[in-house]
Amino acid sequence: MTQEAGPLGARLLSGLRVVECSMLGPGAVSTPLADLGADVIKVEPPSGDYIRSMSWPLVRGSSLLHLHISRGKRSIVLDLRTDAGRETFLALVAEADVVVEAMRPGGLDRRGLGYERLREVNPRIVMFTISGYGMTGPYRDLPSHGIAYDAWAGTVAPVPGPEGMPSIPDHTSIGITAGPLFGTAAILAAVLRARETGEGCHLEVAQSDAAAAFDWLRSEGHRAYERPADEVTGNPSDGYERRPPGTAGMAEGVRYQFYESSDGHVLFMASERKFWENFCTAVDRKDLFEAHPGEKLADHARGNRELRRELAAIFRTRTTAEWIELGLAHDVPIGPVNTPATIAADPQFTARMPWQSADRLVADQLPFPVRVVGEDPPAASRPAPAPGEHGEQILHDVLGYDTGRIAHLRAEGAFGP
């Protein structure tokens, strides 16, 4: 493994200790905590978390999934099927603020380490369970992987594939990202309450629920339209027409739409009249504004094919970078259109999202996106661990165990066969 680095950026959660039992992607719930300086101890079975071999690409033999999700964490191997392993786990819990159960619900309970047992050794412990479909409901025990939650939530749909058979499209994975982010916020809220009252709690989130909540605008829009048409309407700029919820109602937009530039694409977003007038002035086409002034707010000139053809011809006359310069100079909302492969070259990206280097984390990785003003972005201080890499260090630093006691635990099978 690469050498650990000193603290980088804000260490806002220094002093917070998290004990994590995770398999695969749900362990992402504690990654932001580690980025922000928390001591995250990843407890692994003797066989290790097989996240290291899942997905692609593999970097120096470990999956990028593991390198990203497990960055900044320390690893200890404990066999929770043994008395010695369970006792050591409970000793760690006694010194922790949070226990993360990132697997199918009840995994720790089946090992005699459920919430009620944990709070016996630490009444202020916050237990957080993150799973695919949650602790209740008919899908509770259904095995699943990340795309399942997006498909369940309606955020990704099949597309035609080989021989016309349905295929999975390229898409943003929402559930496996939103679940951990919602969870992180709840964990910190619960820790604050526990420190004030001395009482912990058991939180849980389903990655499927999180995917649905993340896409609230569409589902709530459909729900709203179930109410009477005289009660729930569209926008005045469209004559109150009830167009499809969310971005589906943007398909026929003109003043808010994608356009080809001379070397790519831009997104034009002049849905307010003042921005539309600024644009027409900047390109010396006040005639367009006079002919199509539109409404003051939320007017996309939807369905105006004549205007769209005019704008298409205008946008093809400059490069994407030139359009961004025009937007900055004349207060016009125009944005570049990137792909995951091209975004790293974008000047806004290079100014805001400095890569965490492979020299430190094995693979180049994006930083935590929230920062303290005037400081470097928070960053993981160590790469993702090998199974049990920090076991003796954790037992010595956290529990004060000496070499003899660690040797006794080893003999008792605490660390596996």
Residue 87 has pLDDT above 50, yes or no: yes
Q: Which helix (H) or strand (E) holds 205?
A: strand 201-206
**What does the pLDDT look like over 198-211, one tens digit per residue?**
999 999 999 999 99
Mean pLDDT of the chain: 93
Residue 8 has a pLDDT of 66
Task: Give the position of tokens 């025009």.
Answer: 326
Q: What amino acid positions are annotated as catalytic residues?
A: 170
Query: Fold identical between 17-213+355-412 and 252-337?
Result: no
CB atoms near residue 64 (< 10 Å): 18
Distance from C-alpha of 113 to C-alpha of 118, rounded to nearest angstrom? 6
Q: Spell out where 29-160 has E strands.
A: 39-44, 58-59, 62-63, 74-77, 98-102, 126-131, 159-160
Residue 4 has a pLDDT of 47
Task: Give the position of tokens 């037992």.
Answer: 395
The one-character DSSP state at 129 is: E
In angstroms, the Cα distances linking 301 to 138, 295, 311 are 46, 9, 12
DSSP letter string, 302-323: TT-HHHHHHHHHHHTTS-HHHH
Percent of the chain with pLDDT over 70: 98
Residue 3 or residue 184, greater confidence = 184
Confidence of residue 1 (pLDDT cuts 50, 70, 90): very low
Give residue limits of the domains in the chain: 17-213+355-412, 252-337
CATH topology of domain 17-213+355-412: Rossmann fold (3.40.50)
CATH topology of domain 252-337: formyl-coa transferase, domain 3 (3.30.1540)
Q: What residues contact 302, with CB distance under 8 A and at least 6 apart? A: 238, 243, 252, 253, 254
Q: Is the pTM of this model over 0.85?
A: yes
**What does the pLDDT look like over 237-283, one tens digit per residue?**
888 889 888 887 888 999 999 999 999 999 999 999 999 999 999 99
Pair type for strands 62-63 and 58-59: antiparallel
